[in-house]
Structure 1
Amino acid sequence: MTAPEFLQGFIGRDILAGEVTIHAAIAGNGPPVLLLHGHPQTHATWHAVAPALLAAGFTVVACDLRGYGDSDKPYGGEDHVNYSKRAMAADQVRVMRALGFERFAVVGHDRGGRVAHRMALDHPTAVRRLAVLDIAPTATMYAKTDKEFATRYFWWFFLIQPFDLPERMIGADPAFFLDRHLDGQSGTPGIPTAALRREYLRCYDNPATIHAICEDYRAAAGIDLDHDRADGEKRVTAPLLALWGALGTVGALYDVLATWREKASGPVQGKALPCGHLLQEEAPDALLAELLPFLQAPD
């Protein structure tokens, strides 16, 4: 066990979750909160948020999704099934159970929000509260694709191209692609910090990571949509908080709260924050001002 560089006071653990090992940073003794990052980040993205949640009395578990960071990167499998949000969500439920938590709150940004959404559908008794950061539901975004969305989120359509076109193109200069992607995500100069960029590149500069990321997006455009269609009228029952960046794409192109109310039978609340896509890095104080009351509310 080692202390994560960006989360001082946390313990780093590699936890067997079925057939994969998931890397996590863990601290605290209170009600459990699971934090899930997006692309191209790792659990280090929570460096300003996780300590505040810990100080507020929570047990905080910040994990690397399968395929990302220091978690395992399995072969994608037929129809990219091993990177379906169903498989990725099951990983995280197994992690929390291994830590002794059968029921917990989950906060997911970007891809982590999509994993958290699937988790709330597949494991409703496990998810006490759900917070999704700067996303609208995947099926909604694909269904409403237009030129504006395809231009702003071009990687949704680039990364899903058949193996190994995007892998080779990104692999030719991972640092360039990563920096351009992060610059496009952030609405705040200097964010991510140079130290975080180095950490993200440490993980991104790995052919297995690049392939896993492509498989994540390929699954989102295929098997994940199949799972969504098969859900029929199934809805998220947990209380849901949706927050998004006022300077980002999601709030500009969608009525975010309306999209989530279509997917939930429980209460939905939320608002825009003064930042771009990276809420937890650009506006951690504003994020915590919304997140803490939501997480502290009684069931």
Structure 2
Amino acid sequence: MNQRPQLFTAPDGVRIAAEVAGSGPLVLFVHGFPELRQSWHRLAPAVAAAGYRTAAIDVRGYGDSDRPEAIDAYRMEAIVADLVAVADALSPEAPATLVGHDWGASIVWNSVMARPDRFGAVAALSIPWLGRAAAPFDAMFKRRFTDKGRFFYQAYFQEPGVAEAELEADPARFLHAFYHSISGDAAPGDWPNDKPHGAKLLDGIRFPDTLPAWLDPGYFAHASATFARTGFAGALGRYRNHGRDFDWAGGFDPVIRRPALFIGGSSDPALVLGTADPVPLMRAVVPDLEAHMLAGCGHWTQAERAAEVEALLIPWLRRTVPA
């Protein structure tokens, strides 16, 4: 589960850990929150076996990558530069293909927007691309939730040290609760939607004693031990850069002009509590789009539906970037 990674140095000196395998066109895998590079332990080997060179990274702040202290070190601009550094080292002659989930999906969308010269195709799981919003996301959730006295998890993540104290008290309990409560297994109310501002993240979350059947026990044990070692400050830094990210993104054409694959779940709370189909909205800003919505799938797309994601991703890769 914890193969020794290669280390790549970003322009600001941060070292990025990646598990590299296979040969052929480069496919770079980018995880989300709270995941690790090993969350691709089923999909990346299948892609390598299909004739591609794969690199699954620990995003800066996670796992075996460096964890800088400065909050602005986790801005999107810096993380895009991390991906470029890995791609330059492993595929200097040809653009890489990106695959991302959750925050990793946002990262790969932004990467292909900012650096279409280095990234020739993009596959995103769970998080769609809708172009640039009208305002920074923190300003939007403040109006919708905080100003109305309602809890929103990203607002809770804003103050350094607050969420860290809760999550680091028992990383395994947090991961168990979080993985279940926004998965396709969750029952209505397992993730409470009516908490007051000032509540803690785990207040009111319901989850069973057993791990979900789709969650590999070895990965869960490794993730629990890893976050107990690293803490969550680096991972949470990504949520504390909405204003910087908004300003930076304004310098680019928001239309994704490269082949794109999107795979979402119809029961994913990240897609407006599982009720919205983002695909029609995406087509205006992602013209070369192949999209699939998996019925009953929650947020953890590549884990909950590993076989289905593999069956969609590898044929798309072969059509888009032949091995």
The TM-score, its normalising length taken from structure 2, stands at 0.79
CA deviation digits over 1:76-122, x for unaligned, max 9? 2xxx3211122111101101211234411100000111111111111
Q: Partner residue of 1:167?
A: 164
- Separation in 2 of the partners of 1:35 and 1:286? 17
Q: Is the 8 A contact 2:182 2:269 kept in 1?
A: no
C-alpha distance after superposition, 1:253-284 (max 9, x if no partner):
433223433433x4112011242111111111
In 2, Cα distance between equivalents of 1:51 and 1:217: 30
Deviates more, 1:97-106 or 1:132-141: 132-141
SS of equivalent to 1:249 = coil
Q: Distance in 2 between matches of 1:199 and 1:263?
A: 38
**Pair 1:277-2:271 in alignment:** no
The aligned residue for residue 124 of structure 1 is 116
1:178 corresponds to which residue?
175
Partner of 2:44: 50
The question of whether the paired residues in 2 share the 8 Å contact of 1:15 and 1:21 is answered with yes
5+ long unaligned stretches in structure 1: none
Partner residue of 2:289? 268
In structure 1, what is the equivalent of residue 266 of structure 2? 246
Distance (Å, rounded) in 1 between the aligned partners of 2:183 and 2:221: 16
Report if the CA contact (8 A) 2:267-2:275 is conserved.
no
RMSD: 2.6
Q: Distance in 2 between matches of 1:87 and 1:263?
A: 24
What is residue 14 of structure 1 aligned with on the other side? 7
Task: Render the CA deviation track for 1:183-230: whole Å, top value 9, x for unaligned.
Answer: 123325323222111111122114x541112211111x3211222344
- Say if 1:6 and 1:49 are closer, same or farther in 2 by CA, change over 3 A: farther
Larger radius of gyration: 2
State the 1:144 CA deviation: 7.2
- Could you tell me which of 58, 72, 77 is aligned with 1:81? 72
Q: Mapping of 1:69-108 within 5 angstroms?
A: 69-76=63-70, 80-101=71-92, 102-108=94-100
CA distance in 2, matches of 1:258, 1:226: 26
Mapped partners of 1:253, 1:192: distance in 2: 24
Contact 2:10 2:82 (8 Å CA) reproduced: yes
- Deviating 4+ runs (over 6 angstroms): none
CA distance in 2, matches of 1:30, 1:242: 23
The percent identity for this pair of structures is 29
Name the CA distance, whole Å, in 2 between partners of 1:137 and 1:270: 12
Structure 2 Cα separation of the partners of residues 261 and 157 of structure 1? 30
18, 33, 40: which is aligned to 2:34? Answer: 40
**Which amino acid is 1:211 matched to?**
A
TM-score for both structures, normalised by structure 1:
0.85
- Structure with the larger helix share: 1
- Counterpart for residue 199 of structure 1: 222
The question of whether the paired residues in 2 share the 8 Å contact of 1:106 and 1:127 is answered with: yes
Where does structure 2 lack aligned partners over 5 or more consecutive residues? 186-211
